[in-house]
Amino acid sequence: MAKRRPLRIFVVEDEALLLMQLEALLVAAGHEVVATAMSTAEALARIPTLAADLAFVDLRLGDSGGGIVVGRQLARTARMPVIFVTANERRIPVDEEPGPPPPDAGDNDLGGDYAGAMGVIAKPYTLHGLRTALDFLDEALRLPPPHRAPPESLFLTPAYAARWQIAV
């Protein structure tokens, strides 16, 4: 059986030590960090040239735009799946009755909930938690729908859970 290529991941994190830690954990899990950004402006500037399979975006960036803006742009413009990383998942916007996504949203923005993100990984994260989440995401992105349940380290958004008929 041929080995799959690593997932190419874009990381947006405004704290340098957390960015380095997340990069190291992703690489240790066998994946490739193809780009990083430490601010909303830097992340948005990278979007047109990104060649990534997935983005990990800190929900609370220190500058004005924040992770929500970056996540929405990645999901809608780059049509890239987004995983928010945050210590407080209650800050992610949830639309009580998500409407249809915008016409240009693509497959990775399923409506109003969670700013179009696929899921959330809570901080602090561990190598084991990231590995199990990445194993699930690898299967979900390459061979949808995934055949296993999401791990405890990954909270799948309601729109994606419904899309893949997974109880959350």
CATH of the domain at 20: 3.40.50.2300
Amino acid at 31: H
State the pLDDT at residue 99: 46
Is residue 158 one of the residues assigned to a domain? yes
pLDDT band per the 50, 70, 90 thresholds, residue 68: confident
For residue 157, is it within any domain? Answer: yes
Q: With respect to residue 84, please indicate whether it lies within any of the assigned structural domains.
A: yes
Residues 6+ apart with CB under 8 A from 129: 121, 151, 152, 153
User: Which SS3 state, helix, strand or coil, does residue 45 take?
Assistant: helix
Rg (CA), the chain: 15
Q: Is residue 2 domain-resident?
A: no
Find which of 1-5, 40-44, 101-105, 161-165 is predicted with most confidence, using mean pLDDT: 40-44
- Smallest CA-to-CA distance from 33 within 123, 110, 130 is with 130
Over 80: is that where the pLDDT of 109 sits? Answer: no
pTM exceeding the 0.75 threshold for the entire prediction: yes
Whether 1 is covered by a domain: the verdict is no
Q: Which of 135, 14, 150 is nearest to 86 (CA)?
A: 14
For 117-154, give the secondary structure using H, E and C.
CCEEEECCCCHHHHHHHHHHHHHHHHCCCCCCCCCCCC
Domain count, the chain: 1
Q: What is the mean pLDDT of residues 40-57?
A: 95
- 58 in a structural domain: yes
> What is the per-residue pLDDT across 33-47, written as a single tens digit (0 to 9) for each?
999 999 999 999 999
Stretch 23-27: mean pLDDT: 93
Give the residue numbers spanning the domain of 150. Answer: 8-163
Residue 168 lies inside a defined structural domain of this protein: no
113-125 tens-digit pLDDT? 677 789 999 888 8
Record the tokens describing residue 20, joined without a space.
Answer: 């380095």
